[in-house]
Amino acid sequence: MSDSYIELSNITVKRSGRIILNVDNFKAASSGEFINLIGTNGAGKTTLLCVCCGLIKPSTGTVKINGIDLASLGSWQKVDIRKAIGYVPQAAEYNAELPFTVREVAAMGRTSAKPMCAALNREDYEIIDSWLETLELTNQKNQTFRSLSGGERQKVLIARAMAQKPKVLMLDEPGANLDFKWKRRILDCIEKLHQRTAITILLISHDIDFLPHNADRTVLMHDGRILADGKVKEIFESDVFRKVYGCKFKVSDSGGRYTPVF
Amino acid sequence: MDPFFYLVILAGAIAGASTGLLGVYIVGMRMPFIGTCISHAAMAGSIFAVLLGQDPMTGAIAASVLASLSLGANRPHKSRVETNVGLAIIFSLMLGLTFLGIGLIQDARTEVLGLMWGSILFVRKESVVVIAAMAIILIIFTMIFNKELKLLMFSRSIAAATGMHDTFVYCSFLVVCGLILAVNLKTIGGLMIFSLITNPAAAAYQVCRGHRAVVITATLLGAGTAVIGFLISFYLGLPTGACIVIVSTMAFGLAVIYRRLKGILD
């Protein structure tokens, strides 16, 4: 058993001859590490996430999940290893127009947690309902997913991911298209989740005001590379950050919140 | 009333119910064109089977399973060919092959054209048994893979990222889809099958809440519209296929109106 749950080394990903991801070394610990991945649009954040969960096969380099090299696995086993990954995708990745109820969407978290073809039983629904309760969705559980607002949908997707009982939770821009109030709520929700469960979290965001207070590391990406990896304050005040974002910020820490100050 | 009448009604109800149920998943996965695509593959298959002196049904099944699997082999994320674009390419190829086949067949053209429009009035007992058996296979398949199919409809990315065997389930579904379309081709025809797949499911998606409600509504609507369409055509002496399509489209229209009214009343 290795102490890093995800381990990438010497990864490159090519798309139409161009290198879009070039990461020498990236690790996420299995012991509840909270990593906040930031960077501008097109920095390679989502690509990195897809490599981590095995959706994109890198051109070179090795991906290890829980100490197992993905290249050594057959395609069926490669799928099985992803059962430990909880995933909250961007809105373009799911069909929000179907009349699934909130509870049905949350129940989809049990799909890969159970063997193929096995029906969900009462135990599964207890897990699902307890996550809906944790995320304060109990009152809405019989409403349709499509009738909810963007922020509420995001909470349902988080409940869905957690119902799977993942070891790693990956969130891809959970604050995208949300107003300031909802952004804060979703961020709160993710922070509480981390405190409560101590699972490893990989959070992607290009919003620099979407900064989780209890993130252990902030990783700054640009042009497919990892430029900095450390504490949020150091990164925001670094020269590298200024090069990437074109300006420098100070991070004020008030009221249990990080706020970037221009 | 003679027994032929009831046999036709039974055939229409089974065909309508199974295409209605299938449509829930096809419309849910946003690929309604798969109906025309696979049914034209089945048509091309049966025409070439006739040309080669084989049983048309075998040719239809083989070609539609082949077309389904080639759709399954396309992974939109990797190939950059969107599913509907893939469908359009295979569909036009199959249409081309169908017409090529029609051009090559000299004597039995009417029989072949019957595949396009369907000939529910000439249904035989054996084919009702076959479509009923296939309908049961479909029901069992959707029950066994219930949770997998739901996630596949909601998001194939989530399915793939979180350890569901998405490609396996998707391809199995496409094969079942191909089989259903192939066996129903003779009764309801390659063109009409499209509306029987799309309309009941689209109507159910308008008015229902929850997956189970959608499944039940679409299946019943599919069976109901097929039977009502047949009865209208029978008593008014109109073409059967056309009547079924129109009734099924009206059902969808009513669903839209119902949803609007409900929205106003709520």
| Whole-complex ipTM | 0.91
- Whether residue B260 lies inside any domain: the answer is no
Beta carbons within 8 Å of A220's beta carbon, 6+ residues apart: A38, A39, A226, A227, A228, A229, A235, A240, A241, A244
State how far residue A179 is from chain B, nearest Cα, in angstroms: 24
* pLDDT class of A17 with cuts at 50, 70, 90: confident
CATH of the domain at B135: 1.10.3470.10
Low-confidence spans in chain B with pLDDT less than 50: none
Joined together, the tokens standing for residue A58 give: 């890198």
Per-residue confidence (pLDDT) for residue A75, from 0 to 100:
85
Q: Which of B87, B13, B34 is nearest to B197 (CA)?
A: B34
Is B46 within 8 Å of B40 (Cβ atoms)? no
* B214/A111 Cβ within 8 A: no
d(CA B48, CA B58): 10
* B154/A116 Cβ within 8 A: no
State how far residue B143 is from chain A, nearest Cα, in angstroms: 8
Cβ contacts of A108 on chain B, cutoff 8 Å: 147, 150-151, 154, 158
What confidence tens digit (pLDDT) does each residue in A42-53 have?
889 999 999 998
Q: Nearest by CB to B160, which of A55, A76, A107?
A: A55
Q: How far is CA B75 from the centre of its chain?
A: 22
- B73 shares contact with chain A (CB less than 8 Å): no
> Which H helix or E strand runs over B258?
helix B240-265
Going B264 to B214 to B16 to B96, the CA torsion angle's sign is positive
Q: Has residue A2 got a pLDDT over 60?
A: no
* β A250-254/A225-230 pair status: unpaired
d(CA A87, CA B90): 33
- The average pLDDT across A161-180 equals 91
Burial of B236 (0-12, 13-18, 19+ CB in 10 A): exposed
- The average pLDDT across A112-137 equals 93
Of all residues in chain A, the percent with pLDDT exceeding 70 is: 99
Is A96 within 8 Å of A105 (Cβ atoms)? no
Is B229 within 8 Å of B195 (Cβ atoms)? no
- Collapsing DSSP states into helix, strand and coil, what is residue B245? helix
- Whether residue B249 lies inside any domain: the answer is no
- Whether residue B93 lies inside any domain: the answer is yes
State how far residue B165 is from chain A, nearest Cα, in angstroms: 6
Domains of chain A, with CATH numbers? 4-261 (3.40.50.300)
Q: Which domain holds residue B157?
A: 3-198
Number of domains in chain B: 1
Our CA dihedral for B230, B232, B235, B241, rounded to 10 degrees, sits at: -50
What confidence tens digit (pLDDT) does each residue in A189-212 have?
999 999 999 899 999 988 888 888
d(CA A85, CA A96): 22
Beta carbons within 8 Å of B222's beta carbon, 6+ residues apart: B16, B17, B18, B19, B20, B21, B23, B196, B200, B248
User: How many H-runs (helices) and E-runs (strands) does chain B carry?
Assistant: 13, 0
- B259 shares contact with chain A (CB less than 8 Å): no
- Whether residue B160 lies inside any domain: the answer is yes
Cα–Cα–Cα angle for A67, A72, A75, nearest 5°? Answer: 110
A-B contacts (CB, under 8 Å): 105
What is the phi/psi pair of residue A201, to 5°?
Answer: -120, 135
- Whether residue B152 lies inside any domain: the answer is yes
- A148 shares contact with chain B (CB less than 8 Å): no
**What DSSP assignment string belongs to B47-93?**
HHHHHTTS-HHHHHHHHHHHHHHHHHH--HHHH---HHHHHHHHHHH
Instruction: Output the pTM of the full model.
Output: 0.91
- Whether residue B240 lies inside any domain: the answer is no
* pLDDT class of A1 with cuts at 50, 70, 90: very low
State how far residue A80 is from chain B, nearest Cα, in angstroms: 5
Per-residue confidence (pLDDT) for residue B264, from 0 to 100:
67
